[in-house]
A and B are shown apart, each in its own frame.
Chain A
Amino acid sequence: MFHWLEKNPFFFSVGVFIVIAFAGIIEILPNFAEASRPVKGLKPYTVLQLAGKEVYKKDNCLSCHSQMIRPFKSETDRYGQYSLSGEYAYDRPFLWGSKRTGPDLHRVGNYRTTDWHENHMWDPKSVVPDSIMPAYKHHFTNIADIETAYAEAVTVKTVFNTPYDVEGGTKLGTWEEAQKMALEEAKLVTADMKNKDVKDAVESGNIPEIVALIAYLNRLK
C-alpha cells in the first residue's frame, strides 16, 4: 500500500494532508466556543489603550515579557493571581509571549505606577541599576497613531461584536468623539508625569507613544 502511494503523488499528498489536518481539528475546534467568553466586568480597551498596545507590539516587548501568570505559588507571589482564559477575550492577538527575559506584565498595573514607568521607559537603569532592558526614549517623541487604534476598535466592534458603546462599558463613538476622549484620558496620564515635552505635546493635542503605552500598562491588572 505504501509503495502504491509512493507511485501516486496525488493520493500520497491527500494522505499526508489527512494525517496532519486531523490533529488540528481535534486540537483547535473544541475550544473555540468556550474560550472566547470574557470574565465578568471585563471591558474592551479604550482607544488610547489600544494605541499603547500597538506600541507594545511594534517595539515587540513580548520578545522579553510574558503576559501569562502560571498557577504556581512562586508566580502568584511575584505577579499576583494566576491568569484566566476569560481575561484575554479582547486580546487580538494574544500577547502571552514565550520568553521572560524580563518579568511577566499581565498584572503590572497593580504594582507599578505612571511615574515609575516614566522613569523606567526613559532609562531602566535609573530605577533598576542592573537592568538590561533597552531604554525607549523614542516613545517620548514619537506620536501615537490614535487613528489606527480607532480603526481597530471599529473593526472589532463591527466584525466580532466586541461590546463597545454599551451600558457601563467602553465608549467608542465617532472619530471626533474618540479623539477627544483619547486626549482626555491622555491628560489623566500626563498629570502624573514629569517630562515637559510630553506634557506640552498632549496640551497641544498630540499624544506621544509613551502616554498611550503607560495607559495600556496601567490597564494590565
Chain B
Amino acid sequence: MQSNAAFEYDYSIAKLFTYTTILFGILGMIIGTLIAAQLAFPELNYMFGEYGTFSRLRPVHTTVVIFGFTLSGVFATFYYVAQRVLKVSMAESNLLMTVGKIHFWLYFVGALLATVSLVLGFSQGKEYAQYEWPIDIVIVIVWLLWGVSIFGLIGIRREKSLYISLWYYIACFIGIAMLYLFNNMAVPTALVSGYGNIMHSVSMYSGTNDALVQWWWGHNAVAFVFTVPIIAIIYYFLPKESGQAIYSYKLSLLSFWGLMFVYLWAGSHHLLYSPVPDWMQTMGSIFSIVLILPSWGSAINMLLTMKGEWNQLTDNPLIKFMVLASTFYMLSTLEGPIQAIKSVNAIAHFTDWIPGHVHDGTLGWVAFTIMAGIFHMTPRMFKREIYSKSLMETQFWLQTLAVVLYFTSMWIAGITQGMMWRAVDEYGNLMYSFIDTVTVLHPYYAIRALSGVLYLSGFLIFAYNIYKTITSSKRLTEEPQFKTPMA
C-alpha cells in the first residue's frame, strides 16, 4: 500500500464547493423554516410583498436545498474523494483544474440565477425542474463539466479498479443527465412567435404524458440526487473515518446493480389513481416494494461495517451522524414503498405524510451524511483539527430531535388529514369540510416549524464549528489516517 503522504491532493475545488454547501444549506433551511412557519401562522406570508408568499418560496426552498445544498455537497465530496480513491491529484492536469474551476463558478452563478428567477416568478411549473430554458441550458453545461471532471480524473487514474463511491458518482452523473434533458424539453415561445417574454417556454409534452415524464424525472431526481450520490459519500467516509473495512463486496455489488435496475421503474408511484394507465401504476407499486431490498442493502452494509465498534459509535460524533443517517435511510426507503401501495397511497398522497417522508430522507439521511463528510474533509483540507467536539454533540442531538419532531408531526398530520378527507357521517355525506381538515393541522404545523428552528440552529452551529476549524483551530502536522482529530 502506498502511503497517502506521497500525494499532495489539490483540494481547491472541493473547498469552494464546501463553502457553497454551507451557504446554501443555511439559506435553504432558513426558507424551509419560514415556509413551515407560514403554514402555522399565515401572517408570515406578507413580509416581502409578493415575493414572500408560501407559494413563491416553496420552490425556492426545494431549489436551494436540492440544487444548492445537496449538489454542492455532492460536488465537494466528489472532488475530495475521487482524487483519493483514484490516487491522482487534480493538480496533475491543468485542463482538469481549469474545468473544475469553471465547473464551480458556472454552477454558483447558475444556482443563484435559478433561485432569483423563481423569486421573480419565472417558472415552468414542473416540480424540481421549474427553471426556465436559459437556466436549464446553464445547468446542462454545468453538468457536462462535471462529467469531464469525473471521466478526466478516471482517465488519468493510478488505481486500476473503481471504488464503490465512484460507481455511485458515475450513476448520478448519467442518471441526471438523461432524465433532466428529457423532462425539461420545452419550446421557447418568443423564438417561435416573435412575441412576449424571452424567458417563457412551453412544455414539449402535454397532460398525462407530461405527468409521466415529470415523475419519471421527479422520482429519479430523488434517486439520483438524494440517494445515489449520498450513498457514494457514505461509502467513502464511514469506512475511512472508522478504519473498518467494508463488510461485504457482494452486498455492495448486488445493492448497486439492484438499485440501478429497479429504481427507474418505480416513478409511477407518484401517479397512483391518476388517469395514467392502470398497468403502469401497478408496475410502479411492485417495483417500489422490490426497491426496499437494494436500498436497505447499502444501509445494512454500512451498519455491518461498524460491527464490533460500539466504542466508536459512542466516542465519535462523526460516526454517530453516519449511523443515524443509515437508519433514517432505512426509514425512508421502507416508508416510501409502503406509501407506494395503492391503498396506502389513497390516504397518503396529497397529504403532509409525503413531506414527512421527504424530510426523513433529506434531513435524516442526506443532510446528516453531507455534514459528516464535511466534518471529515475540513481538517484534512485545511490541516487543522475540528474546533469543538462538544459543539458537534450539541448539534447532533438538536438535529436528531428536530428530525424526530418533523416526522412524527407530519406522520400524524398526514394520516389524520387523509382519513378525514375520506370520512363520511352516518348519513353518507362527507363528514368534514375542507377547512376542518386544515384547522386540525395547526398544532402539527407549529411543531414542524419548531423542528425547523431546531434543525436550523444545529446547522448554524455546524457552520460556526467549521468556520472556527478553518480559521483558528489547532494546526495538524500530519494528516490523520482514520479518525478525525477534534478538540
Are chains A and B touching directly in their complex (CB below 8 angstroms)?
Answer: yes
Task: Tell me if B127 and A91 are in contact (CB < 8 A).
Answer: no
Q: Is the CB of B161 within 8 A of A3?
A: yes
B253 interface residue per 8 A CB criterion: yes
A152–B196 contact, CB under 8 A?
A: yes
Contact A151-B275, Cβ < 8 Å, known A31-B208, A134-B45: no
Q: A103 at the A/B interface (Cβ < 8 Å)?
A: yes
The answer to whether A59 touches B56, judged by C-beta atoms less than 8 angstroms apart, is yes
A residues within 8 A CB of B349?
70, 98
Q: Look across to chain B and name the residue whose beta carbon is closest to the beta carbon of A95.
A: B125
CB within 8 Å of B: which of A3-21?
3, 6-7, 9, 12-13, 16-17, 19-21
Shortest Cβ distance from residue A119 to the other chain B in the assembled complex, whole angstroms: 15
Q: Are B438 and A131 in contact (CB under 8 A)?
A: yes
CB < 8 Å neighbour of A94 from B202, B214, B346: B214
| Contact A147 B206, beta carbon cutoff 8 Å | no
Inter-chain contact A60/B56, CB cutoff 8 Å: yes
Tell me, yes or no, whether A58 is within 8 Å of chain B by CB.
yes
Known: A6-B167, A68-B274, A154-B189. Is A148-B174 also a contact (CB below 8 A)? no
Contact between chains at B203 and A9 (CB < 8 Å)? no
> How many residues from B make CB contacts under 8 Å with A?
90
Query: 1/0 per residue B219-230: CB within 8 Å of A?
Result: 000000000000
Q: Chain B nearest CB: distance from A105 CB in Å? A: 11
Q: How far is the CB of A121 from chain B (nearest CB, A)?
A: 12
- 8 Å CB interface, B221-276 against A: 253, 257, 260-261, 263-265, 267-268, 270, 273-276
Chain B residues within an 8 Å CB radius of A6: 161-162, 167
Residues of B within 8 A of A91 (CB): 206-207, 210
Contact B196 A88 (CB under 8 A): no
Cα of A159 to Cα of B185 in the assembled complex, Å? 13
Instruction: Indicate which residue in B179, B187, B257, B276 contacts A85 across the interface (CB closer than 8 Å).
Output: B276
B121 → chain A closest CB, angstroms: 4
Contact status A155-B189, CB under 8 Å: yes
Supply 6 further A-B pairs (C-beta < 8 A) apart from A91-B206, A133-B42, A134-B53.
A6-B161, A31-B208, A35-B208, A35-B212, A59-B121, A60-B123
Tell me the A residues contacting B by CB distance below 8 Å: 2-3, 6-7, 9, 12-13, 16-17, 19-24, 26-28, 31-32, 35-36, 54, 57-64, 66, 68, 70-72, 74-75, 77-78, 83-103, 128, 130-136, 138, 142, 145, 147-152, 154-156, 158-160, 175
